[in-house]
Structure formats: C-alpha cells, structure tokens
Amino acid sequence: MGLGPWPEVSIAEAREHAGNARRLLRTGVDPIVERAKQKIKRNSLTLAEVIKSCFIARQAELKNDGKAGRWMSPMKIHVIPKIGKVPIEEIDQHQICRAMKPIWHTKSDTAQKALSRLNLTLKHAAALGLDVDLQATMKAKALLGKQRHEKKHIPSLPYVDVPKFYEWICKQKTMTTLSLRMLILTAARSGEIRFAKMSEIENEIWTIPAERTKTNRIHRIPLTAECITVLKLAKSLSTGDYIFSSPIGEPLSDATMSRFMDRAGYVERPHGFRASFRTWVEEQTDTAYEVKESALGHVVGSSTERAYQRSDVLDKRRLLMNKWAGFVTN
C-alpha cells in the first residue's frame, strides 16, 4: 500500500499512516478499499453524475444501447434540472418527493419511470461505495401517496368498422394512407411500419430486426397478397431507402398517421388497430392463444418454455393474416 512520495510525506507521517492502516486491517477492514471510498466521498459525486454513470453501466441491457433516449428522458426533464446538482449522499425522500410532486398525478407513468430509475441510480451509488439511502424512493412514494391518474387505453376502431375505413383510405393513394393500410393488414406498430425497408422483405415475409421491436426480438410477419399490393404502390412513390418515406426520403413522422385520422374526424388512433385485430381474432376465430399473441409480436410463455418451443408459428399466422386481410377487404 503506497503512503505517498518522500519528501512530500515524511518518515514520521508514513509510520503514522502505516500504523493506522494496520489497525484497520486488524478490524477486518481493507485499508486500500477504505481509502478508495474516502476518495470518492471527497470528490462529492452529484446525483446527475451518478445518473450518467448508471446509464452507461446499463446501456447493454437497453434497446439499441439506449440511443433513443427513453431511459434518460424522464431524468433529464424532471429530475436533473431540480436536484441533479445535489451530492448523491445527501439525496433523501423529501428532495425526491419535491421533484416528483408536480407530475405525480398528471404524468403518472413518467413519474413512475423516474422513480424506478432513481432507485437504480441509488443502487449504483451504493455499489460505488457511497453512503446512500437505498429506501429513499420507497419513502418518497409513501409521502406522495396514491396516484389519482387513471390509465387510458388508446382508442381503437371497432373491428366491424375496419372494412369501411379501409375501403375509404384505399381511394387515397398517398404515402400516409398506404402506411395505414400496411399497419392494419399486419397489426404491426407504427414505428415498425415507418422504418420498414425493402431489404427486410424476402419470400413474402417481412423480418423486423430486433432493435426495432418492443420485445427486442426479431419478429417475422407473413405478407398477404393485399400487403404485396400496398408495397408495390409504396415503392412507386418512395423517394428513399424507406418503403413509406416522406417527400425528402426520410421516414414518415411518428405523428403523420395520427394527424391524418384526427383531421378526418376520428378519435381513434393507428395503434388502436392492433386492438381491433385482437378483438376480431378473439370473437370471430378459434385461433390458439400463442398464435394470436405471436401475430402481435408479443413474447409468449416463460423463458423456460421459450427455450424448448422455438417456433414462431409462422405458417399458422399466415393462415390467420390471410383471414384478417379477407375480412378487412370485405
């Protein structure tokens, strides 16, 4: 264990430091580890610094290495501007409570995410050897009380009305209506549609890369004849690498399809067509549960079950999607 250079540290000081280190060692404390802890404390890491360190440590677990910014977003907006400069060891439930109070009832989901990430940050700080209150977020939650906000589902069009809506959008040959048609026919998410490329389609199968799916797993979608028709029309209008591109070749905006439905007087939203599809499957078919859920790109079964059942039931889903396309196109 180095005690410092001579003559900056005198022989007498070195003997004193050595004696202190030996006394720590006799009590079962590693003097080198203890010195490292004291050094971290002297540096006085702020909450913002530890949040950044925690994010870097967790990046490998996050979708696309967290480049979308969703993990950091609630921290940057609602936590760091308010208490980011406070030393991490001084963070308590009262400071967290004050930071979360303005959004606790109005933006409940965001507040819950911020609390969850604050909890991870405190655990990360503890792993660094810092003296933090690991129960601070739990205590803050108790102070904040029960949230009044009720979760609202995204409005969806009743499945019986989908054919009429589909017929209407078929009369408009725009990139927005074509992307909506593809979304309805495949029951895919809007982000998966907007960033789709022709290179992902082969032998009438669309393979969505893991980094673009919510489950972080590759999702294959069997394409019906109607899907192929939509793709051909979109390709003739596309001005870039993306199938459903904007006039300048970029992916369509994430609000394009929603705005289109809003302007047409619909309160329903594009994502709701997944619910329309799922309800139709439930009420009009006798499809097995794993096929219904796989069609939506959901993960089915426990990790142990998935280790043995590795099929994505593509052939069964192809039959289901053909039935759905037949219903949609009347």
pLDDT digits (tens, 9 = 90+) for 168-186: 999 998 999 999 999 999 9
Please give the tally of structural domains in the chain.
2
Q: What angle do CA 58, 61, 65 make, to 5 degrees?
A: 85
Is 12 a domain residue? Answer: no
Residue type, 190: S
Spatial distance between the Cα atoms of 68 and 117, rounded to a whole number of angstroms: 16
- Domain of 172, in residue numbers: 159-328
Same domain, 299 and 201: yes
| Residue carrying structure tokens 């309160």 | 267
Task: Give the H or E element holding residue 156.
Answer: none
Same domain, 164 and 117: no
Same domain, 69 and 195: no
Same domain, 188 and 132: no
Which tokens sit at 41?
A: 């404390």
pLDDT tens digit string along 25-69?
Answer: 999 889 888 887 776 555 678 999 999 999 999 988 887 778 778
Same domain, 243 and 199: yes
**With bands split at pLDDT 50, 70 and 90, how would you rate the model's confidence at 260?**
very high
Same domain, 315 and 261: yes
Same domain, 272 and 311: yes
CATH of the domain at 311: 1.10.443.10
Is 313 a domain residue? Answer: yes
Task: Give the H or E element holding residue 3.
Answer: none
Is 149 a domain residue? Answer: no
Same domain, 177 and 87: no
Is 104 a domain residue? Answer: yes
Exposed, middle or buried, 307 (CB in 10 Å: 0-12/13-18/19+)?
exposed
Indicate the residue among 144, 176, 203 that finishes a domain. 144
Spatial distance between the Cα atoms of 172 and 176, rounded to a whole number of angstroms: 9
Is 130 a domain residue? Answer: yes
pLDDT tens digit string along 214-238?
Answer: 888 899 999 999 999 999 999 999 8
CATH of the domain at 133: 1.10.150.130
Same domain, 316 and 224: yes
Indicate the residue among 144, 171, 202 that finishes a domain. 144
Answer for the pair 226, 330: CB distance below 8 angstroms, yes or no. Answer: no
Answer for the pair 84, 46: CB distance below 8 angstroms, yes or no. Answer: yes
Helical H runs in 187-330? 190-194, 225-237, 256-263, 272-284, 289-295, 303-308, 314-328
Exposed, middle or buried, 43 (CB in 10 Å: 0-12/13-18/19+)?
exposed
% of the chain beyond a pLDDT of 70? 95
Is 17 a domain residue? Answer: no
